[in-house]
Amino acid sequence: MMGHTHAISGAAVWLAAAPLLTQVVHLGPAELAAGAVVTAGAALLPDLDHPSATVARTFGWPTRLLARGIACLSGGHRKGTHAIWAVPITGILAQLMVIGGQWIPYLPTIAVVLAVGLGARGLGWTRSGVIANVGTFVACTGLTVAATLAGVHWAWVGASYALGVAAHISGDVMTTEGVPLFYPLSKKRFRGSNMPTGGLREQWFVAVPLAIVGVTLALWQFGAMPYVFALLNSTPAFAR
């Protein structure tokens, strides 16, 4: 699937899972909003298995270098990072960075900044080039630091990463290319449909519905649905 579809799916999955996550970790309005952003970015993480991928250019050479390392460890594009094991492994690694923040203060920030940058890149909000890459890094770091200073905690980042990767794999299963869910034990690719990546079917029957679901979930999670219903009831076209 295209980057923006993955990002939208990640945010929607986070908002859908938030009621369950609140049973484990406190999620205030700020954490809900931040989680949607981070999960949208984490949903692009599996595509860092290709140094030439769009998301590999997020921060320039640092993310390209990261992509080369991931490609070597995962076996190449759409292999290890698209296997079902990638979900818990990614979540655990991200959570270890959060826990490690007790001794290395900036570790949680790195995890958040990476996800935010990937999300912005996947949605097409950033461009390539040295100046653009530096600007993206500064903006993402500034937002993360500002959120931290405002009291946002990052205890949920591991779950966010796992949900994002799960959303990505689920989305790619729906495409004609499919994914090797049990790589390296099996190279068999699982395909849920014959939908081509980036086609009209993805745009209109996946991306648009996901966006609608995401907005609806956001309104519900932030308690805005009563105001929406009140507005609709006060509009003559809907009041009849």
Q: What is the pLDDT of residues 136-183, one digit of tens each?
A: 999 999 999 999 999 999 999 999 999 999 999 999 998 888 999 999
Give yes or no for a contact between 208 and 5, defined as CB atoms under 8 angstroms apart.
Answer: no
Compute the distance between CA of residue 146 and CA of residue 206 in angstroms, rounded to an integer: 33
The closest alpha carbon to 43, from 149, 168, 220, belongs to 168
Residue with tokens 């959303």: 167
Classify 195 as helix, strand or coil: strand
Q: Which two tokens stand for residue 238?
A: 């809907």
Q: For residue 126, what pLDDT is reported? A: 87
What Rg value do the Cα atoms of the chain yield, rounded?
18
Our count of domains for the chain comes to 1
pLDDT in tens, 79-120: 999 999 999 999 999 999 999 998 988 899 999 999 999 999
Q: For residue 3, what pLDDT is reported? A: 83
More confident residue, 83 or 129: 83
Residue 25 pLDDT grade (very low, low, confident, very high; cuts 50, 70, 90): very high
End-to-end CA gap in the chain: 41
Full domain range(s) for residue 91: 3-239
Q: For residue 231, what pLDDT is reported? A: 64
Compute the distance between CA of residue 171 and CA of residue 7 in angstroms, rounded to an integer: 11
Compute the distance between CA of residue 153 and CA of residue 118 in angstroms, rounded to an integer: 20
Q: Does 194 score more than 80 pLDDT?
A: no
Type of residue numbered 185? L
pTM (2 d.p.): 0.92
Strand partners, 179: 190
pLDDT in tens, 31-40: 999 999 999 9
Q: How many residues does the chain have?
A: 240
- Going 95 to 97 to 102 to 105, the CA torsion angle's sign is negative
Q: Does 199 score more than 60 pLDDT?
A: yes
Compute the distance between CA of residue 16 and CA of residue 174 in angstroms, rounded to an integer: 20
Strand partners, 190: 179
Type of residue numbered 44? L
**Phi, psi dihedrals of residue 114, rounded to the nearest 5°:** -60, -50
